[in-house]
Chain A
């Protein structure tokens, strides 16, 4: 069965620090999709990124970057020069299969607090 582990329950940093959120996954499928979502205090999950299992290229979007390594079954998320607005709970999720339509299996989330 699939599983997503986010070992860091809570991280606190000071503004402008870099921070990496860890995600480790387990799946028996050879084809799958990985996601990161942000859940600000308002509660609504905001989609950040999707990566399929055949694409190990790292991605950068502004201050956000993602490191996907199949060899270690990890999909880590780094925020560079963190800002107070980055404070939220971040979830890593997995969808098995080749369509990405299946329900998501979520990790337990990492709460990030960025102090001014």
Chain B
């Protein structure tokens, strides 16, 4: 697609359930990032994938959070045993290191709004 696509756009779950959030990056973008945005706050980095390199997981807040990416395509962020404090908008971004003008600029999806009841 033309932009970064995220699904679902909204997710309501019960405390203790697992959730999976999906991100489709811009075609050809080698880098993919996940961020979390709590209500009224800035974005917090979670995890970064670059091509086939080992991901940078330094921003994951706990071992309940994990993410996968196959090659340079879709990524899935999984939150296990969700807690109310996990309620936030989860944003995905992708970038390319090859484009001359837009090199390494992160382009964001519209996010998934997660509500944990």
Binding site for B on A (CB under 8 A): 4, 6, 33, 37, 42-45, 47, 50, 91, 93, 99-109
Beyond A93-B43, A102-B48, A106-B43, 7 additional contacts (C-beta under 8 Å) are: A42-B110, A45-B91, A99-B104, A101-B31, A105-B45, A107-B42, A109-B41
* Segment 79-107 of B: residues with Cβ below 8 Å from A: 89, 91, 93, 95, 97, 103-107
Number of A-B contacts (CB under 8 A): 55
Question: 9 A-B contacts, Cβ less than 8 Å apart?
Answer: A4-B42, A43-B111, A45-B43, A99-B104, A103-B35, A104-B45, A106-B42, A106-B43, A108-B42
* Contact in complex: B33, A103 (CB < 8 Å): yes
* Contact in complex: B89, A104 (CB < 8 Å): no
* Contact in complex: A44, B59 (CB < 8 Å): no
Dominant SS at the B interface? strand
Of A45, A50, A102, most B-chain CB atoms within 10 Å: A45
If A43-B89, A50-B105 touch, whether A103 touches B45 (CB-CB below 8 Å) is yes
* Contact in complex: A104, B110 (CB < 8 Å): no
Binding site for A on B (CB under 8 A): 31, 33, 35, 41-45, 48, 50, 56, 59, 89, 91, 93, 95, 97, 103-111
* Contact in complex: B110, A91 (CB < 8 Å): no
| Measured CA separation A99–B59 after assembly (Å) | 19
**B72 smallest CB distance to A (angstroms):** 14
User: Contact partner of B110 among A4, A44, A101, CB < 8 A?
Assistant: A44
If A42-B110, A101-B50, A109-B42 touch, whether A47 touches B89 (CB-CB below 8 Å) is no
* Contact in complex: B104, A104 (CB < 8 Å): no
